[in-house]
Structure 1
């Protein structure tokens, strides 16, 4: 798509942003000063500022000091969860579809020292090694119209959760207890169900797909999902007992039957269609039954250029769901990676200088609003007439057979 950037288009974006921030500020704040600072902060996050901490944002915005921004993030009276609800409502108003997909993943903010809430030596997916960082489980909403964050959590390691002095200094609310990252995703899913968020699937990487409690919650709530899983995921063996998911791959390779695999795209990447060889096997999980009317399918994704590189996905979907639909959901998982990248590189998602629980939630949620504005603006460029988005879905897949060949197991 070629975009013709005109003066009128830029003016319309400015007017829409002003209307959005003013409407939300009127609901969040009683006094005019924080209302104005909130609008300035969102504009600053969207601006071309090298590092979007309070001082550089203040300098860009023409503030004499960073005090208005630091006051807004740390000490002013307002509710970050109320802003989160506004972000969700805005995203769903413009991007919501009945076949939307919720995508869970965590991202990290590398920090110095030990004062920032939740910071600890822990695994950092950004570098692939242990770093001094904060871990942030995030939830993205994706549909054919676009994708943006709609929920967030800050992971509180056990060392923080049990340290009363550190909790008090960082302002961690008393009811907050230690929770694993998958449990935090469960909590966010519960909030989305309560809010009536329209979605058809949950997608996530193996850090979440391996968690039996998250899978059990989805089964109990009849939530369909496609989550990456480890090679040792326990499955019911054909002759009883259990076996790791990797044995399914061994059987497929032993068949030496090329028709077991089918080449399909799981979505568009920066270099075009992301094509892989796929196989689908009906399976039963050891110790876990699917929801009524649902079944489990193990998807195997094999690299075309490196055939020994195989990734496993567990799908939980209604009986009769076409396999290409499950493949499309597996491909959508990368949308949250795009949100993480955009949030960090362009919108200052992790550029905050705040150290407290309240400050973290306020900054991150405001950055979520800035990302949502970008996503909605892009959707309007692709679909300039509201309501004429038709019936295209985020789950579209390649043309061809509705089902891949499937081996029955268990």
Structure 2
């Protein structure tokens, strides 16, 4: 339940939701799909324990799930047109020139082999290899809230190269195999083309290790903080002749340890309070990839504040490595803050699955998958906007109209990170 939400807020949200769905009625040529669309979005935002065709049809008063299934599978409307509306809604309500775009993928476990994109592949949800679908998501993290901005379905090579299977699932002919970072690049390019206001890009090591993604960010002069593996080749720190010409990121840990360069800072607010770590950073050279003009590369190392029980029974500090591409006047405090913002996409993945039915679909084809996921994105964006408005009103009431601080301020106290809590109205 959203903190401090009163019945009058819920009623206001319901009215605004009706206005929102009605305002999108132009996407549908006939009255029936407009009605089903409104029913579907309301169902995705309801307190139903399981949000499938049957439960949402019953809630909407339909005799069977046929109308919802037809809306997602056969009705004449364009999921990409709805996505553009979702993006405009997010930009107009949450747009912030200091925002961060966050890339990550999430998985939905599936049985069988017919659902589009399903394959025996790595599943980050469970940490093993199993039958699942993978969707690459892009989160917009602003100072007042965060929600999904774009999505791509990852089509494994076994699908991309199987013409009969593609045909049965309705995969368009122009869709070819693309890696997850390549899908991420396409979404970032789309955000730039649509003039989305943002400054930084963040992602974990599965994306940070990809040279093509880094090259795209360099070419567009975008600051980033990307998780990287300990094996990432780097050279540096500059001016240290005893360092090998090219080392691995993990080899440079001794430089931070030997110089006692650690600063304790919060990475942001977590479910148990501030998430404090020790941090060190220093300039490095990325072999074969020059930073943008006026930018530099730094290796940012995060260390746990106490020793942990690690794999194999070893007890030691936990370390994580990030490559930071930033304008030369950037400070450690901002890099730490942006590294913390990466977790907003984890929250969006969890909230969308638990609250707005992101993974609770009963569809198999390309078109219907994109329709369902885009509707779930709209529902999550609506919640993010309502929560941001409520928090703004609450802050204005408590502080006599003084607005919240910018996200990069007060980083040591963790106050720059977007808030964690969000829930559907009930």
The answer, yes or no, to whether TM exceeds 0.5 is yes
Bigger drift between 172-181 and 378-387 goes to 378-387
Whole-Å separation in 1 of the counterparts to 2:408 and 2:127 = 30
| Alignment CA distance shift 1:328-1:161 (3 Å) | same
Unpaired segments of 5 or more residues in structure 1?
401-410
The answer to whether structure 1 residue 302 and structure 2 residue 315 are counterparts is no
Q: Which residue of 1 aligns with 2:417?
A: none
Shift of 1:303: 0.4
Query: Is the 2:305–2:317 contact (alpha carbons within 8 Å) kept by the matching residues of 1?
Result: no
- Aligned 1:230-269 pairs, distance under 5 A: 230-237=229-236, 238-239=240-241, 241-253=245-257, 255=258, 257-258=259-260, 260-269=261-270
Unpaired segments of 5 or more residues in structure 2?
308-315, 414-426
Shift of 1:347: 1.2
Query: Is the 1:325–1:397 contact (alpha carbons within 8 Å) kept by the matching residues of 2?
Result: no
Bigger drift between 82-91 and 356-365 goes to 82-91
Aligned to 1:106, the other structure's residue is in SS state strand
Bigger drift between 151-160 and 304-313 goes to 304-313
Q: Which residue of 2 aligns with 1:93?
A: 92
Q: Which residue of 1 aligns with 2:15?
A: 15
- Aligned 1:194-233 pairs, distance under 5 A: 194-233=193-232
Aligned to 2:29, the other structure's residue is in SS state coil
Aligned to 1:347, the other structure's residue is in SS state coil
Q: Which residue of 2 aligns with 1:115?
A: 114
- Aligned 1:62-101 pairs, distance under 5 A: 62-101=61-100
Q: Which residue of 2 aligns with 1:136?
A: 135
Query: Is the 1:294–1:319 contact (alpha carbons within 8 Å) kept by the matching residues of 2?
Result: yes
Bigger drift between 262-271 and 232-241 goes to 232-241
Q: Which residue of 2 aligns with 1:383?
A: 392
The answer to whether structure 1 residue 369 and structure 2 residue 368 are counterparts is no
Query: Is the 2:333–2:412 contact (alpha carbons within 8 Å) kept by the matching residues of 1?
Result: no
Q: Which residue of 1 aligns with 2:321?
A: 312
The answer to whether structure 1 residue 290 and structure 2 residue 291 are counterparts is yes
Query: Is the 1:28–1:82 contact (alpha carbons within 8 Å) kept by the matching residues of 2?
Result: yes
| Alignment CA distance shift 1:7-1:236 (3 Å) | closer
Aligned to 1:326, the other structure's residue is in SS state helix
Shift of 1:31: 0.6
| Alignment CA distance shift 1:359-1:4 (3 Å) | same
Q: Which residue of 2 aligns with 1:276?
A: 277
Q: Which residue of 1 aligns with 2:367?
A: 358
Aligned to 2:64, the other structure's residue is in SS state coil
| Alignment CA distance shift 1:331-1:4 (3 Å) | closer
Whole-Å separation in 1 of the counterparts to 2:278 and 2:19 = 47
- Describe the superposition over 1:326-345 as per-residue Cα deviations: whole angstroms up to 9, x where unpaired: 11000000000110001111
| Alignment CA distance shift 1:236-1:274 (3 Å) | same
- Describe the superposition over 1:82-132 as per-residue Cα deviations: whole angstroms up to 9, x where unpaired: 111111111111111000100000000000000000000000000000010
Shift of 1:56: 1.4
The answer to whether structure 1 residue 345 and structure 2 residue 345 are counterparts is no
| Alignment CA distance shift 1:187-1:305 (3 Å) | same
Question: What RMSD in Å do the two structures reach over aligned CA positions?
Answer: 1.8
TM-score between the two structures when normalised by the length of structure 1 = 0.93
Q: Which residue of 2 aligns with 1:191?
A: 190
Whole-Å separation in 1 of the counterparts to 2:183 and 2:384 = 25
Shift of 1:391: 6.8
Whole-Å separation in 2 of the counterparts to 1:207 and 1:101 = 18
Shift of 1:8: 2.4
Aligned to 1:153, the other structure's residue is in SS state strand
- Aligned 1:138-157 pairs, distance under 5 A: 138-157=137-156
Aligned to 2:393, the other structure's residue is in SS state coil
Whole-Å separation in 1 of the counterparts to 2:216 and 2:30 = 42
Shift of 1:27: 2.5
Number of residue pairs aligned between Structure 1 and Structure 2: 396
Shift of 1:385: 9.0
